[in-house]
Chains A and B, each alone.
Chain A
Amino acid sequence: MDLMFYIVSAVITIAVVMGVVLLHVAYITYFERKILGDMQDRMGPMEVGYHGLLQPIADGLKLFFKEDIIPSGANKIIFTAAPILVLVPALIGFAVIPFGRDSLTIGPFTFNPIITDINIGILYILAFASLGAYGVLLGGWASNSKYALLGGLRSAAQVISYELPLGLALVGPILLSESLSMVKMTEAQSGGALKWFILVQPIPFFIYVISAIAETNRLPFDLPEAESELVAGFFTEYSGMRFAFFFLAEYANMILTSCIATVVFLGGWHAPHPALEFIPPILWFLAKVYCFLFFYIWIRATLPRLRFDQLMGFCWKILLPVGLANILITSIVVYWLRS
Chain B
Amino acid sequence: MAESQLLEEKKSLPLLRTEELLVNMGPQHPSTHGVLKVVLTLEGERIIKSEPVLGFLHRGVEKLAETITYHQFIPHTDRLDYVCAMYNNFAYVRAVEKLLALKVPDRAEYLRTIIAEVQRIIGHLFWLGSQALDIGAMTVFFYTFRERELLLDIFDDLCGARLTTSWYRIGGVERDFTPKIIDDIYKFVADFPSKIDEYDTLLVNNRIWLARTKGIAYISAEDAVSFGLSGPTLRGSGVDYDLRKVAPYGAYDKVEWKVPLGKNGDTYDRYYIRMEEMRESTKIIKQCLDQLPEGPYLAYEPKVVIPAKDRVFTDMESMIYQFRLFTNGFNAPPGDIYCGTEAHKGELGFYIVSRGGGKPYRLKIRAPSFIHLGAFDHMAKGYMIADIVTIFGTYDIVMGECDR
A residues lining the B interface (CB < 8 Å): 36, 39-42, 146-147, 150, 219-220, 222-223, 226-231, 300-310
Contacts and interface: CB of A to CB of B under 8 A. Distances in A.
User: Does more than half of chain A's interface fall in helix, strand or loop, or is it mixed?
Assistant: helix
Give 6 closest A-B pairs by Cβ, nearest first. Answer: A305-B136, A40-B142, A304-B137, A304-B136, A228-B31, A304-B135
B139 A228 contact: no
Contacts of A304: 132, 135-137, 203, 206, 208-209, 212
A70 B142 CA distance: 35
By size class, the interface of chain B is 20 to 34
Contact of B137 (A147, A227, A229, A303): A303
Given A146-B21, A229-B385, A231-B30, A310 B135 contact: no
Given A146-B21, A301-B138, 18 more contacts: A36-B138, A147-B23, A222-B136, A227-B30, A227-B31, A228-B133, A229-B31, A229-B386, A230-B385, A301-B139, A302-B137, A303-B137, A303-B208, A304-B206, A304-B212, A305-B212, A308-B384, A309-B384
Contacts of B386: 223, 226, 229, 305, 307-308
Nearest to A230: B385
A317 B146 CA distance: 40
Contacts of A308: 45, 384, 386
B135 A305 contact: yes
A42 B138 CA distance: 13
Interface of B: 21, 23, 29-31, 45, 132-139, 142-143, 146, 202-203, 206, 208-209, 211-212, 384-389
Given A227-B31, A228-B134, A229-B388, A40 B143 contact: yes
Given A146-B23, A302-B202, A307 B211 contact: yes
A218 B137 CA distance: 13
28 contacts: A36-B138, A40-B138, A42-B142, A146-B21, A220-B136, A226-B136, A226-B386, A227-B30, A228-B135, A229-B31, A229-B385, A229-B388, A231-B29, A302-B139, A303-B136, A304-B132, A304-B135, A304-B203, A305-B135, A305-B208, A305-B212, A306-B211, A306-B212, A307-B386, A307-B387, A308-B45, A308-B386, A309-B384
Contacts of B143: 40-41
Contacts of B203: 304
User: Does more than half of chain B's interface fall in helix, strand or loop, or is it mixed?
Assistant: helix
A238 B389 CA distance: 23
B206 A303 contact: yes
A42 B142 CA distance: 8
A41 B384 contact: no
Nearest to A226: B386
Nearest to A222: B136
Most chain B CB within 10 A, of A146, A150, A306, A307, is at A307
A83 to B, nearest CB: 22
Contacts of B133: 228
Nearest to B23: A146
A146 B22 CA distance: 9
Contacts of A219: 136
A104 to B, nearest CB: 43
A227 B134 CA distance: 8
A229 B45 CA distance: 11
Given A304-B212, A306-B212, A308-B384, A41 B142 contact: yes
Contacts of B132: 304
Contacts of A229: 31, 385-386, 388-389
Contacts of B139: 39-40, 301-302
A64 B137 CA distance: 31
B27 to A, nearest CB: 13
Nearest to B140: A304
A301 B209 CA distance: 14
Contacts of B136: 219-220, 222, 226, 228, 303-305
Contact of B146 (A41, A147, A222): A41
Contacts of A42: 142
B382 to A, nearest CB: 13
